[in-house]
Amino acid sequence: MILRKKEYVCHCGEVLPSKARFLWHKETHDLKPKCCPYCCDRFVHANSLRRHIRLAHSEKFDYSEPIECPMCKQTFAKTSIKAHMATHSTDPQYDCTICNKSFSTKWNLKIHSWVHANRTAKPFKCEYCPKAFVRELDFKNHINAHKQIKPYTCEYCGCKFIRKYNYMRHRREHQGTKNFTCDQCGKSFHRHYYLIEHRRMHTGERPFTCTICGKCSATKSTHNRHLKIHHSQNPFTVEL
C-alpha cells in the first residue's frame, strides 16, 4: 500500500505540507494582531511575539526548561533551541536565486524572499525613497531613519537609537555581569558574539564580503551599511 503525504488546505486555497505550517499560515487570517503586553508592538504570529518578548523584554520572559546554546551561550526555551542551533550551521542548504545569500532552513529563505518582492506587493511604502515594507514596525523605523528621529535613549550613557530592539540590546550591556573577556586586552562583554566581533580588531579578520564589489568588513553592521551604497544604485541585485 502506498502512503500518501497528508496536506492541509486553508479556506483561502493555500495548500500547506504540514500541520505546523498550516497553523502558522492560519494566523495570517486573524483579524486582530498579537499585542505585546509590555509595549505597543504588534505581531501576526504568536511565535514572533514570543521571540520579541525574549529579546526586548528578557527580564519578563518565562523560560520554561531553559537551555543554553553551546555555541554562543545564549539561553533559549526548549521549543526554540532547535531553530536557533540551525543558525550556527556551517553548511547552509537553501540559497536565494536572486542574491545568492544562504539560509539554514527553507522557511528562513521564504521570509528573506520578501526583500526581493515588488514594491507594489508590500503594504507599507516609503514616501521619501523607493523602499517598501511588509511589517509596520520596520516601516516606522525606516521613516524615523529618514527624519533622524531616535526615540529610544539609554538612561545609563545617553546613546540614542532608532530601533527599540537595538536600544534594549544596548541597555543590557550596562546591566549584569560581563562574562566574556578578551584574552588579549582584557575588555569584557555581555554577549559572546560581541567578544567574537571585538577579537577581529586584534586578528584583522574580515569575514563579510560584498558580492558586488568584493569589499570585506569585520562586522555585519559595517557590511550592511556598505551594501546600502549599492542598494541606492541597483536595488534589485543587492543582498540585504
* CA-to-CA dists, residue 16 to 10, 21, 72, 83, angstroms: 8, 6, 33, 20
- Does 188 map to a domain? no
Tell me the pLDDT band of 183, cut-offs 50, 70 and 90. Answer: very high
- Same domain, residue pair 107 and 69: yes
- Does 192 map to a domain? no
- Same domain, residue pair 55 and 71: no
Structural domain that includes position 23:
11-62
- Quick one: average pLDDT of 34-43? 81
- Does 19 map to a domain? yes
- Same domain, residue pair 58 and 88: no
- Does 47 map to a domain? yes
pLDDT of 223-237, one tens digit each?
Answer: 888 877 765 543 333
Tell me the pLDDT band of 207, cut-offs 50, 70 and 90. Answer: confident
Count of structural domains within the chain: 3
- Same domain, residue pair 16 and 47: yes
Final residue in a domain of this structure, among 116, 150, 180: 116
Cell for 155?
A: 538612561
Question: What pLDDT sits at residue 185?
Answer: 93
- Does 167 map to a domain? no
pLDDT > 70: what percent of the chain?
A: 79
Per DSSP, 150 falls in state -
The 3-state DSSP class for residue 142 equals helix
- Quick one: average pLDDT of 188-199? 83
| Cβ-contact 67, 76 below 8 angstroms | yes
Cell for 171?
A: 541597555
Tell me the pLDDT band of 3, cut-offs 50, 70 and 90. Answer: very low
pLDDT of 83-123, one tens digit each?
Answer: 677 666 655 577 888 777 777 677 778 777 777 778 887 88
Cell 520554561 belongs to: 64
Q: What angle do CA 117, 169, 91 make, to 5 degrees?
A: 55
Question: What pLDDT sits at residue 110?
Answer: 78
Whichever domain contains 76, its CATH number is: 3.30.160.60
- Does 185 map to a domain? no
Alpha helix ranges (H) inside 88-235: 106-112, 136-146, 164-171, 192-203, 220-231
Q: What is the pTM of this model?
A: 0.40
- Same domain, residue pair 71 and 53: no
Question: What pLDDT sits at residue 196?
Answer: 87
pLDDT at 155 over 50: yes
Whichever domain contains 25, its CATH number is: 3.30.160
Sign of the Cα torsion 19, 20, 24, 30 reads positive
| 209 membership: H or E segment, kind and range | strand 208-209
Of 55-59, 146-150, 219-223, where does the model show the most confidence? 146-150
- Average pLDDT of the chain, as a whole number: 77
pLDDT of 163-178, one tens digit each?
Answer: 887 888 788 777 767 7
pLDDT at 221 over 90: no
Question: What pLDDT sits at residue 5?
Answer: 52
d(CA 93, CA 156): 42
- Does 57 map to a domain? yes
- Same domain, residue pair 49 and 69: no
pLDDT at 240 over 50: no
- Same domain, residue pair 56 and 96: no
- Does 171 map to a domain? no
pLDDT at 8 over 60: yes
- Same domain, residue pair 18 and 54: yes
